[in-house]
């Protein structure tokens, strides 16, 4: 068993305090287990991040494609109108729809980011709890 010896000041030097000793690591195997568990948590967290970012990228790509298609339709519709007032009406309707779609997409992306962060943190929860650190809600 490895011992941690507390040091106390003695003049300008530090000397060991024989009254205070604390076990740090019981064995080399415990240290290996601790390292292995940390590495496995890191790998699981990385996998969760990758999966979450792929979902976010896919959602963003789909939204961009739909927005481009809708924008193209509106330009075609506006150029086909006979009057400026009708074209302005088409553009105003599109602006409102585009804004509403953007707000909805921002909310959806927010949910995806939060879910990704929670999934990436899960592997570390048990490790932190073993050290007495509570996970934030």
Reported as a single tens digit per residue, the pLDDT across 99-115 is 999 999 999 999 999 99
pLDDT, residue 58, reads 97
Q: Of all helices (H) and strands (E), which one includes residue 57?
A: helix 28-80
Beta-carbon contacts of 77 under 8 Å, excluding residues fewer than 6 positions away, are 90
Category of 15 on φ-ψ map: left (φ > 0), alpha (ψ -120 to 50) or beta: beta
pLDDT (tens digit, 9 = 90+) per residue, 9-66? 666 776 666 565 555 556 667 667 777 888 888 999 999 999 999 999 999 999 999 9
């Amino acid at each position: 068993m490895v011992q941690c010896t507390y040091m106390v000041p003695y003049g300008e030097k530090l000397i060991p305090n024989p009254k205070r000793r604390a076990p740090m690591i019981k064995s080399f195997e415990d240290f290996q287990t601790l390292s292995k568990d940390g590495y496995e948590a890191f790998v699981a967290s990385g996998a969760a991040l990758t999966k979450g970012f792929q979902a976010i990228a896919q959602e963003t790509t789909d939204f961009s494609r739909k927005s481009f298609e809708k924008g193209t339709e509106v330009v075609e519709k506006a150029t086909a109108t006979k009057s400026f007032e009708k074209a302005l009406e088409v553009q105003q309707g599109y602006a409102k729809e585009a804004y509403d779609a953007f707000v909805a997409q921002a909310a959806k992306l927010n949910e995806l980011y939060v879910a990704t962060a929670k999934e990436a943190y899960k592997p570390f929860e048990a490790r932190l709890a073993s050290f007495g650190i509570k996970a934030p809600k």
